[in-house]
Amino acid sequence: MHHATPPRLRVAMPAIATESTCTCFRLRRAARQASQLYDRELAAIGLSLNEYSILRRAQKGTRTLGELADAAGMDRSTLTRNLKPLLAAGLIRDARGDDARQRLIQVTAKGENAIAKAIPLWQRAQKQMAALYGAAQMQRLNDDLDALHVALRPLREAA
Q: Mind listing the pLDDT tens digit for each residue in 107-128?
A: 999 999 999 999 999 999 999 9
Q: Mind listing the pLDDT tens digit for each residue in 60-87?
A: 888 889 899 988 888 899 999 999 999 9
Mean pLDDT of 131-139: 96
The model's confidence at residue 3, banded by pLDDT at 50, 70 and 90, is: low
> What is the C-alpha separation between 51 and 68, in angstroms, rounded?
12
Q: What is the residue-wise DSSP string for 87-118?
A: HHTTSEEEEE-SSTT-EEEEE-HHHHHHHHHH
- The pLDDT, as a whole number, for residue 17 is 58
- CB within 8 A of 110, min separation 6: which ones? 89, 90, 91
Q: For helices 49-58 and 76-88, give the axis angle rounded to 10 degrees.
A: 90
Per DSSP, helices labelled H in the chain are: 23-42, 49-58, 65-72, 76-88, 109-133, 135-151, 153-158
Task: Determine contact, residues 52/42, Cβ cutoff 8 Å.
Answer: yes
The model's confidence at residue 156, banded by pLDDT at 50, 70 and 90, is: confident
Q: Mind listing the pLDDT tens digit for each residue in 17-71?
A: 565 689 999 999 999 999 999 999 999 999 999 999 999 999 988 888 989 998 8
- Out of 9-13, 92-96, 134-138, give the one with best mean pLDDT: 134-138
Closest CA relative to residue 61, chosen from 30, 119, 107: 107
Average pLDDT of the chain is 88
Domains in the chain: ranges and CATH: 32-158 (1.10.10.10)
